[in-house]
């Protein structure tokens, strides 16, 4: 038995083992449990702390009260060659997501591209996980999801859209891939929450208060306010972030028949499901392109290398060290964590200990 | 003969007629000239003043010195079911673009979706024109293009990427379509140029000077500085705009074999073509989805109506009148201009008069 008061650093394997066991505890089939744990581990191992083990408590809570189906039967609702709509049978997004991404990749191999709009699903972890799956097959992969409403439309004073992320990746040859993964809000809810916990102010442009006025007090966003879309305000072209969030919302949820906009199912135990539903679950959207349908894939990958080298050689702004390539922050975190392990926040650790106690699953830091 | 000192308001038909004749003057086939004029007219008639008749001078200059091919043979370089790469034979983007969008739409009708990456092409007008083409066939349409480098990557001090726009549209049933069309920079070059002409300051976050420092003096951007990507800086999440611009650059130009990033062919007569080329021309990317492949199209369109009504009913921020739907600004401009005509800026009018004089084409304001 490990010392419970130890430093909160976990090895990759230990966290994966724990997470897998937690999903299995709710009768998620072993293969699916390993898959779901892999999606969460992707975040923790690549420094995306908001989307990994920190969310296990919520998955746990929702499975416990039966709000998520541990053993979904995923079905195609409608299909036409390169496109399809899939019903996720209210399964874990962490299981429905990878299976649908696989289907999109298969279509890409057959038809040059593949597109899946997915309804009746749940939170799917980090959007970047899915294009990384495609990279392993030398495909260009894309994923989007809608999420619980937390963002105001441009000029709006209330939460109507999720932080709706978009991710896409392009393989390099000798260079690493260009991996794009970002939310369409200026910042994540988590970033404002952390500032609030620390009692710090946030920059103007991140959020508004319950009346729709700009605020630098994070508690005012949390108490009935909203996040702002990428671009924030008129000077920053906040209408563009609103456009991006709208695109993601429509492709993931209006197209599939999921709950869109303010009706997106909250990913939280303490929030009751909304009374009005306009569809089933939340929505994802997955895509893949067969590079060979456009251009010899080796030629493409070598040119991506040249693109990367060119961008890296940009003269940096005064005070900045260098220009990064999308995906660098994740790679830097991975290199560090694979050696040093994954630092788990105190509050998150507390939640894991409760889960361990309730389920009897051993929480080892280095096993 | 009209009074040359008149108010500069043109009827829709007059501008279209003039533009068509100018293209025909360079032996652009009549059908193509009408098409190219239609693309430019879309901008003028919908209030996108930066992308319509204001650019005619540049197309004129480039055709005059033979830098654009007036009668291109567009060819498929590579193809696989739903995807293809096309060579635009250095034609007008205003002609290559619509023809490629048609090909993407045809593929969507056959394979559920259609995707064209296009190289060896030129400036294609407003990105929003192309998804609007798809709307007429009840398809979801998408377009992107790379453009002359004018934007710094996040934390970079020099121009490495274009303003690389993205456009996508979704049809409504009784409501108008959701029409998204925006550049991935915080603002356009034109917006900073206008401020410079008026001697006005611009907000911090729009641009940097030649050393990479933030500036509110538009002349400092124009003299060797750069625009900033959507999000502007670290507080505004400028890395997200950089990600968007990168995505557009790679899909349009690395995938097709066009000139990407800093190598994009300048759309200007006074800028010599760059010595180094990494591909052919600039690049576009077009896409289309058959809605019926995902969901009954009438059901989808009715749900888009509900989405629109829901977003319109968002409580507005203090001081804001209401929340708009993407596409509303273009629709508002159209309603006004179809009655009042198109106001043409003094400088633009001067350029049109020079063209009229050089070509002998009559420049009538209301014919």
Closest chain B C-alpha to A90 CA, distance in angstroms: 19
Q: Do B84 and A294 touch (CB under 8 A)?
A: yes
Host H or E run for residue B96? helix B93-111
Q: Is B231 an 8 Å CB contact of chain A?
A: yes
The structure's pTM equals 0.97
Three-state DSSP class for B214?
Answer: strand
> Closest to B113 (Cβ–Cβ): which among A113, A178, A205?
A113
Closest chain B C-alpha to A363 CA, distance in angstroms: 36
Pair type for strands B113-121 and B83-87? parallel
Task: Please state, in angstroms and rounded to a whole number, the distance separating the CA atoms of residues B245 and B156.
Answer: 14
Which of B236, B290, B313, B320 should be substituted to probe chain A, the one whose Cβ sees the most A Cβ atoms within 10 Å? B236
Closest chain B C-alpha to A54 CA, distance in angstroms: 23
Query: What percentage of residues in chain A have a pLDDT greater than 70?
Result: 98
Q: Do A212 and B314 touch (CB under 8 A)?
A: no
**3 state SS for A15-83:** HHHHHHHHHHHCCCCHHHHHHHHHHHHHHHHCCCHHHCHHHHHHHHHHHHCCCCECCCCCEEEEEECCE
Chain centre to alpha carbon of residue B172? 23
Host H or E run for residue B191? helix B189-198
**Residue A245's closest chain B neighbor by CA?**
B180
Q: Is B86 an 8 Å CB contact of chain A?
A: no
Judge if A1-71+342-367 and A74-186+228-312 fold alike in CATH terms. no
Task: Please state, in angstroms and rounded to a whole number, the distance separating the CA atoms of residues A207 and A205.
Answer: 6
Q: Do B155 and A324 touch (CB under 8 A)?
A: yes
Spans of all domains in chain B: 1-71+342-367, 74-186+228-312
What pairs with residue A43 in β-bridges?
none
> Closest to B236 (Cβ–Cβ): which among A232, A256, A257?
A232
User: Residue written as tokens 């929003």?
Assistant: B128
**Residue B169's closest chain A neighbor by CA?**
A247
Q: Do A247 and B180 touch (CB under 8 A)?
A: yes
Per residue in B51-60, pLDDT (tens digit) is 999 999 999 9
> Which value does ipTM take for this structure?
0.97
> Closest to B230 (Cβ–Cβ): which among A83, A117, A231?
A231
**Residue B318's closest chain A neighbor by CA?**
A212
Three-state DSSP class for A11?
Answer: coil
Per residue in B300-345, pLDDT (tens digit) is 999 999 999 999 999 999 999 999 999 999 999 999 999 999 999 9
Q: Indicate the CATH number for domain B74-186+228-312.
A: 3.30.1370.60
Which of B85, B254, B274, B301 should be substituted to probe chain A, the one whose Cβ sees the most A Cβ atoms within 10 Å? B254
Q: What angle do CA A87, A88, A91 make, to 5 degrees?
A: 160
Q: What is the pLDDT of residue B16?
A: 98
Dihedral angle sign, alpha carbons of residues A61, A67, A73, A77: negative
Task: Please state, in angstroms and rounded to a whole number, the distance separating the CA atoms of residues A61 and B35.
Answer: 58
Q: What is the pLDDT of residue B2?
A: 45
Task: Please state, in angstroms and rounded to a whole number, the distance separating the CA atoms of residues B138 and B155.
Answer: 41
Instruction: Name residues 256-275 of chain B within 8 A of A (Cβ).
Output: 256-257, 260-262
Q: Is B152 an 8 Å CB contact of chain A?
A: yes
Residue-wise DSSP of B295-353:
S-HHHHHHHHHHHHHHHHTSPBPTT---PPPTTHHHHHHHHHHHHH-EE--HHHHHHHH
Residues 6+ apart with CB under 8 A from B137: B105, B109
List the structure tokens of B149: 């480098």
Residues of chain B with pLDDT under 50: 1-5
Q: Does CATH number 1.10.1530.10 belong to domain B1-71+342-367?
A: yes
Q: Is B235 an 8 Å CB contact of chain A?
A: yes
Segment A92-103 shows an average pLDDT of: 98
pLDDT class of A4 with cuts at 50, 70, 90: very low
Q: What is the pLDDT of residue B6?
A: 58
Q: Do A153 and B323 touch (CB under 8 A)?
A: yes
Pair type for strands A282-290 and B83-87? unpaired
Q: What is the pLDDT of residue A6?
A: 58
**pLDDT of A1 higher than 50:** no
Tell me if B110 sits within 8 A of B288, measured CB to CB. Answer: no
Closest chain A C-alpha to B128 CA, distance in angstroms: 13
Q: Do B112 and A187 touch (CB under 8 A)?
A: no
């Amino acid at each position: 038995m490990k010392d419970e008061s130890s430093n909160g650093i976990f090895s990759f394997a230990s966290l994966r083992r724990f997470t897998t066991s937690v999903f299995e505890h709710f009768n998620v089939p072993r293969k699916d449990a390993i898959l779901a744990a892999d999606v969460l581990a992707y975040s923790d191992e690549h420094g995306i702390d908001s989307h990994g083990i920190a969310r296990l408590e919520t998955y746990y809570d929702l499975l416990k009260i039966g709000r998520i189906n541990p053993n979904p039967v995923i079905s195609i609702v409608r299909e036409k060659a390169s496109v399809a709509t899939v019903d996720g049978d209210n399964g874990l997004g962490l299981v429905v997501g990878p299976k649908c991404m696989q289907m999109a990749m298969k279509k890409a191999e057959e038809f040059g591209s593949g597109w899946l709009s997915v309804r009746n699903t749940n939170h799917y972890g980090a959007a970047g996980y899915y294009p990384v799956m495609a990279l392993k097959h030398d495909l260009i992969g894309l994923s989007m999801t809608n999420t619980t409403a937390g963002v105001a439309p441009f000029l709006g004073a209330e939460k109507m859209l999720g932080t709706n992320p978009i991710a896409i990746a392009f393989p390099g040859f000798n260079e690493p891939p260009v991996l794009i993964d970002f939310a369409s809000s200026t910042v994540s809810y988590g970033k404002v929450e952390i500032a609030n916990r620390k009692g710090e102010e946030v920059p103007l442009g991140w959020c508004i208060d319950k009346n729709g006025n700009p605020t630098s007090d994070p508690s005012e966003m949390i108490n009935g306010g909203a996040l702002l879309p990428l671009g924030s305000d008129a000077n920053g072209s906040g209408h563009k972030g609103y456009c991006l969030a709208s695109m993601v919302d429509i492709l993931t949820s209006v197209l599939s028949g999921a709950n869109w906009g303010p009706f997106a199912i909250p990913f939280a135990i303490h929030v009751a499901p909304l009374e009005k539903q306009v569809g089933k679950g939340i929505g994802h959207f997955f895509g893949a392109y067969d590079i060979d349908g456009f251009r010899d894939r080796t030629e493409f990958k070598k040119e991506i290398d040249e693109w990367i080298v060119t961008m890296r050689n940009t003269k940096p702004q005064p005070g900045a060290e260098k220009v990064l390539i999308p995906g660098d922050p994740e790679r830097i975190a991975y290199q560090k964590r694979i050696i040093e392990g994954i630092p788990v926040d105190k509050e998150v650790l507390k939640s894991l200990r409760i889960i361990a106690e309730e389920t009897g699953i051993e929480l080892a830091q280095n096993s």
